[in-house]
């Protein structure tokens, strides 16, 4: 947690500040995808997808990473969408 700091949660959005070097090789988005799509379970036992936007500020114009997951019915896993 030295380079990642949770800041706020609004409705279904978790807002974090992350050091820009963590976004160079998509390490941080992959960690978030792993946690939210593989480890977090609903009361029914289903997993959830996620949408990640990394930008210069809240709703900023300069996006460094902007993807959401989609369910792959053949493999039964969450994958990054196009």
pLDDT for residue 25: 83
Range of the domain at 30: 4-41+48-80
Residue ranges in the chain whose pLDDT is less than 70:
1
Give CA–CA dist 45/3, Å, rounded: 32
Nearest to 33 by CA among 50, 47, 53, 18: 50
**Number of domains the chain is built from:** 1
pLDDT for residue 72: 92
Place of tokens 């460094």: 64
Q: Cβ of 79: how many Cβ atoms within 10 Å?
A: 13
């Amino acid at each position: 947690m030295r380079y990642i700091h949770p800041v706020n949660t609004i409705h279904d959005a978790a807002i974090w500040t992350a050091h820009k070097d963590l976004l160079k090789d998509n390490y941080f988005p992959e960690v978030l995808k792993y946690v939210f799509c593989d480890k977090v379970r609903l009361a029914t036992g289903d997993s959830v997808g996620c949408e990640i936007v990394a930008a210069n500020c809240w709703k900023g114009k300069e996006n460094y990473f902007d993807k959401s997951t989609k369910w792959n019915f053949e493999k039964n896993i969450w994958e990054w969408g196009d």
